[in-house]
Amino acid sequence: MTAAPRPGTPGATRTCPHCRETVLESAAVCPACRHHLRFEPPTATSAALAVTPLRVEGNIRAPADGAWEYSMVLTIRNERGEEIARKIVGVGAMQPDEQRAFTLTVEMAPGTVREPSAAHAIERAAQAHRSNRGVRR
């Protein structure tokens, strides 16, 4: 397992204050709940650089012989095939002949290096304070 990227570096994460999902620190809008995380005027460059290299859509229909349950599991692997993340995205049940549609989208944009926000600085200071409480000098 690799160490988490430091705040302000590409790949650094934070928690969305609206839905509590983990999102990229560089995100201006939460991809889960679509709430704005900060004001960022749209630029032609940022929109042009964002890409969707993978989009998969599919439908499933429950057989006519009774209720069926389903689990949608998402697995991410690195270039060596090692599992780096596995999440249950959703679960449910379908009655006979009901249908569900699923869409998987991977969105990518160039990594950005940002100055850590004041909130991150306060959070890091609080963590340092908590870790030093039991230390005598």
pLDDT digits (tens, 9 = 90+) for 2-14: 566 776 778 888 9
Checking if the pLDDT of 137 tops 50, the result is no
Q: What is the CA 1 to chain-centroid distance, rounded?
A: 18
pLDDT of residue 132: 65
Please tell me the distance from the alpha carbon of residue 57 to that of residue 100, in angstroms, as a whole number: 11
Per-residue confidence at 31, pLDDT binned at 50, 70, 90?
confident
- pLDDT of residue 74 exceeding 60, the answer is yes
Query: How far apart are the C-alpha atoms of 59 and 100, rounded to whole Å?
Result: 6
Q: What is the pLDDT of residue 38?
A: 82
Residue 79 has pLDDT above 90, yes or no: yes
Q: Is residue 68 pLDDT above 80, yes or no?
A: yes
pTM: 0.61
Nearest alpha-carbon partner for 24 in 35, 45, 39, 9: 9
